[in-house]
Amino acid sequence: MTEGRSLKINVPMLARVEGEGALDLEIDRGRLAAARLRIFEPPRFFEKLVEGRAAAEMPDLVARICGICPVAYQMSAVHALEAIGSVEPTGWVREMRRLLYCGEWIESHCLHIHLLAAPDFLGFPDAAKMARQYPEAVRRGLRLQHLGNEIIALLGGRSVHPVGTCIGGFHRAPPAAAVSALRGRLHDAVPLAEELVRWTASLALPHARQDFVSVALRHPSEYPLNEGRIVSSDGLDIAIGEYADHFAEQPVAWSTALYSLYHGRPYLVGPLARLNLNLDLLPPQVRRNLARTEVPMPSSNPYHSIVARAVEVHYALLEALRILDDYHLPESPRVATKTRAGVGYGCTEAPRGLLWQRWETDADGHVVGCRIVPPTSQNQARIEEDLRLSLEAAGLDSPAEALRSRAEAVIRNYDPCISCATHFLTLRIRRRGGPQRARPPEALSTAARSAEES
């Protein structure tokens, strides 16, 4: 091995974005000695704010934890709180909750694919510059995203911080006319979702093979959204109430966020993990469309996450149509609830991965405590592991700016809530030992800007 430079890079906390990211790199004689990622975790404050408040307030409150995935927080919370009171929602409520989640998956995944991730793979600094050469692709993505927002608004009253969800079901049932109109627009968009899968698969995605454990929900008969057992690619199969027996959060000296580890090691949650563990539960139409690409699934390449997201957009669109094809007005959009002292668990598949919650209430229905483990913090250790592998592969003697750009792209691939801005990461590099030698940065994307839009 050639003698490389050594330096230490320290990064202060970032502002200006939805969430904050910071990264410390230590490069010692050409090898990465340390890569420490800090992500700010809003739910940690939230867990204290809700103590003493009525459980019935929680659906509206938890929706404000995240502007991109409010439904996920609502769904995990209502399932946990309903478990405490032994509340059994109707089949209609169950289907509408799946529909609501489909809307969020479509909206969140499309935002990530088109505004955040694709520019990395096509060699553009931001989506606006990418859109000048790929206007059709971006318009398609925005149209799909808008449909996701429409689904959320149909049931939630609005697409940001929706207010339609309550413990036991929904405050109101959508009118049949609105359902019919939306159904027509969703139907017309199916070819767009199919094209999206093929487009993401055609991107010049880096070749990588990493060894990681995938963790997701698994349901006996459907691609997981709201229900299922927690399974892993190394054989775990547990009820959601047993989560804490296998996944431990621990503090680390360099981060305000807790790290989640599975049996002491990093793990992956999110679309790629879900697809790796539930490929057989996708409808044949979705599997056929995926098979036409050259992207193998299950995959150990983290950069295939963008394809996994596109596949889930396709699935969510078809699932939404299936539910709306059978739509009828219910006798009541919700069931009665009762307060009780107890503990309940909720675990659903947020767009970014497993969102696990534990809630405890008193006999009057007030929150005694809650614990919320979001997918971004669960992926934090995995992201650090990927950073280590990816930056070493890219070349640690690259200039600091090139390392920062590559690190941002690696992190953005996991779609954490901090990735709302093009340059969200403040990077400090400390190098020590060995000669200083800079080499040209290796581009993440091998696709030139002259690549034809497919």
Sign of CA dihedral 111, 113, 118, 121: positive
Report if residue 126 touches another protein, rule: CB under 8 A. Answer: yes
Sign of CA dihedral 395, 401, 407, 408: negative
Report if residue 161 touches another protein, rule: CB under 8 A. Answer: yes
Q: How far is the CB of 163 from another protein (least distance, A)?
A: 8
Report if residue 127 touches another protein, rule: CB under 8 A. Answer: yes
Report if residue 160 touches another protein, rule: CB under 8 A. Answer: yes
Sign of CA dihedral 413, 228, 187, 69: negative
Binding segment toward another protein, per CB under 8 A, in 20-28, 89-97, 157-165, 222-230: 157-165
Element (H, E) at 388: helix 380-394
Q: Which of 6, 159, 276, 445 binds another protein (CB under 8 A)?
A: 159
What CA–CA distance (Å, rounded) separates 231 from 235?
7
Binding segment toward another protein, per CB under 8 A, in 20-28, 145-153, 302-310, 314-322: 145-153
Alpha-helical (H) ranges within 260-352 are 271-278, 284-291, 305-325
Give the pairing of strands 21-28 and 425-432.
parallel
Q: Which is nearer to another protein, 128 or 176 (CB)?
A: 128
> Of residues 75-114, which lie at the interface with another protein (CB under 8 A)?
107, 110-111
Q: Which of 3, 12, 86, 158 binds another protein (CB under 8 A)?
A: 158
> Of residues 402-421, which lie at the interface with another protein (CB under 8 A)?
420-421
Q: Which of 45, 52, 53, 67 binds another protein (CB under 8 A)?
A: 67
Report if residue 66 touches another protein, rule: CB under 8 A. Answer: no
Q: Taking the CB of residue 450, how many other CB atoms lie within 10 A of it?
A: 6
Binding segment toward another protein, per CB under 8 A, in 131-139, 203-211, 258-266, 347-355: 131-139
Q: Encoding tokens for residue 331?
A: 């006798």
> Of residues 322-361, which lie at the interface with another protein (CB under 8 A)?
none
What CA–CA distance (Å, rounded) separates 313 from 103?
9
Q: How far is CA 382 from CA 28, 69, 205, 242, 386, in A?
A: 22, 21, 19, 22, 6
> Of residues 9-28, which lie at the interface with another protein (CB under 8 A)?
16-18
Q: Which is nearer to another protein, 146 or 198 (CB)?
A: 146
Residue pair 39/255 in contact (Cβ under 8 Å)? The answer is: yes
Q: Which is nearer to another protein, 141 or 346 (CB)?
A: 141
Report if residue 128 touches another protein, rule: CB under 8 A. Answer: yes
> Nearest-CA neighbor of 274 among 321, 303, 231?
231
Alpha-helical (H) ranges within 123-218 are 127-133, 135-156, 176-202
The packing angle between helices 271-278 and 305-325, to 10°, is: 70
Q: How far is the CB of 294 from another protein (least distance, A)?
A: 28
Binding segment toward another protein, per CB under 8 A, in 27-35, 81-89, 122-130, 258-266: 122-130
Q: Which is nearer to another protein, 216 or 350 (CB)?
A: 350
Q: Taking the CB of residue 284, how many other CB atoms lie within 10 A of it?
A: 8
Q: Which of 115, 118, 225, 323 binds another protein (CB under 8 A)?
A: 115
**Count of residues near another protein by CB under 8 A:** 30
> Nearest-CA neighbor of 91 among 350, 330, 349?
330
Q: Which of 8, 36, 44, 146 binds another protein (CB under 8 A)?
A: 146
In which residue are the tokens 């950073």 written?
Answer: 387
Angle at CA of residue 292, ends 290 and 296, nearest 5°: 60
Q: How far is the CB of 159 from another protein (least distance, A)?
A: 5
Q: Which is nearer to another protein, 27 or 130 (CB)?
A: 130
Q: How far is the CB of 423 from another protein (least distance, A)?
A: 13
What CA–CA distance (Å, rounded) separates 13 from 21?
6
Q: How far is the CB of 368 from another protein (least distance, A)?
A: 25
Q: Which is nearer to another protein, 161 or 183 (CB)?
A: 161
Q: Which residue ranges make up the site for another protein (CB under 8 A)?
A: 16-18, 67, 107, 110-111, 115, 126-132, 135, 138-139, 142-143, 145-146, 149, 153, 158-161, 420-421
